[in-house]
Amino acid sequence: MLQAKTEDGELVTLASLTRQEIAMMKAKGKFFCPSCNQPVVAKAGTKLIPHFAHSSNTRCPSQEGGEGVYHEKGKLLLYQWLKSQQLNVWLEAYIPEISQRPDLLLQLKNKTIAIEYQCARIPPELVAKRNRGYARAGIVPIWILGANTLKRYNGHQLKVDQFHLSFIHQFSSDFPRTLYLFCPETQHFILFQDLFFTTLHRASGKMNIRKLQAMNFLDLFHIAYFKQEQLVPIWKREKRSFRLHIPRYAQGREFAWQQWLYVRNTNRQLLPSFIYLPIDSQHMMKTPPWDWQSRICLDIIHPLTVGSTFHYESCTHILRSQMHKPSFFPLIKSAANPITQYLQMLEQLHIIHKQSPTTYRKQMPIHFYEHLEEALDGDERLMRQLIKKHDLFIIRHTN
């Protein structure tokens, strides 16, 4: 941690002092943790940012998640950045009523904002616990991830696994889902917005990379959507790869899904093109889009005769173990539902027709392809059809 208390209760930030001043402070007396009041040691070597540390056997509520050099450097840079904007910001302020100490606490007009700079992997339960604490105190949390926690594929795609899902922000239904990242080594700030998951852990989105000093705090709330013309070539490439590259040694859920297809006398190369479509709220699912979408089509719609009906509850029932609960996403305010969005796409493709809020009628039979070349041609035709409809290809924030 960057701050500690003296025996007189004065807060000291070592990183803001010279080497000589630090030596004088250390000679004066002891330092104590602002959270647990246990003694801490001042560390001011030549390689690391001057900081304080607990002894290894100390149990302090503010230590959950761990800290390192990368984290300390980033936290200090973010603090200095906010301070340079004449904002009311406190470093490592302890909030006794919830026993939490955010990295930064910001007072902006009538809002109190806790900024957490998270560089270590922590359980989603701990993130939820901290967010519940902030909610009780009437504080808005903003989590900024260390850029070292994410793998970047290209200018539009990141690897986003289950750990990162807890840090996706959406402040209102008309704000794009956003991940915040910061690299203290390059001092680059990254906004990754309007995420579309093409696989379980590969997300495409609008990526904005800027130097920290070229930004102000309100830039964090800038809105940028991923344009259709940017998503289309990515989805074409992903869909083609899905058809052509069958995992030789599938394991876990992917193996179970392939076996499930085998029992139904088909495989991924022959599935209809409207299986594996881009769904805005795919992040809500625990399985890839081709898995859960195929189960709706093959287990519910395909066995029906044209004109027969099925209920929305049938879809939620067979997918009940494949969906995250909304509480898994404490920072997302939208109630977008992937099943509803997918059924809406099938309706606009005239596969089904919505008769009532919970009842759908099958409008046409489901045909499977007979060979791979036919499937690839069908995928291309459907993609063109979706693009012509324009408003269909990207359906956002539908409950």
Q: What is the mean pLDDT of residues 385-398?
A: 62
- Residue 394: pLDDT band (50, 70, 90) is low
Mean per-residue pLDDT, 176-188 = 96
- Looking at residue 227, its amino acid is K
Q: pLDDT at position 399, please?
A: 47
Over residues 370-399, the mean pLDDT reads: 78
Please tell me the least confidently modeled range out of 43-47, 148-152, 320-324.
Answer: 43-47
**pLDDT computed for residue 52 by the predictor:** 72
Q: Which has more confidence, 388 or 237?
A: 237
Q: Which residues pair with 31 in a beta bridge?
A: 6, 40
Report the SS3 class of residue 191: strand
Predicted pLDDT of residue 323 = 94
Q: pLDDT (tens digit, 9 = 90+) per residue, 50-77?
A: 767 776 666 675 555 556 889 999 999 9
Question: Which helix H or strand E contains 235, and what residues bound it?
Answer: helix 228-244
Residue of 17, 141, 113, 118 whose CA lies nearest to 71: 118
Pair of tokens at residue 242: 């899905």
pTM above 0.75, yes or no: yes
Look at 211 and 8; give whichever has higher pLDDT: 211
Instruction: Tell me how far apart the alpha carbons of residues 315 and 297 are, in angstroms, rounded to a whole number.
Output: 10
Name which residue leads in pLDDT, 398 or 3: 3
Query: Which whole number is the average pLDDT over 180-194?
Result: 96
- pLDDT reading at 49 higher than 90: no
* Alpha-carbon dihedral 379, 382, 383, 387, rounded to 10 degrees: 180
Contact 209, 178 (CB under 8 A): no
> pLDDT: is 391 or 285 the higher one?
285
Average pLDDT over residues 358-375: 97
DSSP secondary-structure letter at 262? H
- pLDDT above 50 (res 321): yes
Closest CA to 344 of 285, 280, 270: 280
pLDDT in tens, 127-140: 999 999 999 999 99
If one counts every other C-beta atom within 10 angstroms of the C-beta of residue 7, the result is 10
Secondary structure class of 52 (helix, strand, coil):
strand
The DSSP symbol for 399 reads -
Question: How is the chain split into domains, by residue range?
Answer: 1-63, 65-225, 229-388
Predicted confidence at residue 143, as pLDDT, reads 98
| Beta partners for residue 104, in sequence order | 91, 115
**pLDDT confidence of residue 388:** 77
Domain with residues 65-225, CATH architecture:
3-Layer(aba) Sandwich (3.40)
DSSP notation for 119-178: -S---HHHHHHHHHHHHHTT-EEEEEEEGGG-EE-SSSEEE--HHHHTT-BBSSTTSPPE
CB-based contact 279:303 (threshold 8 Å)? no
Give me the mean pLDDT over the 181-201 stretch.
95
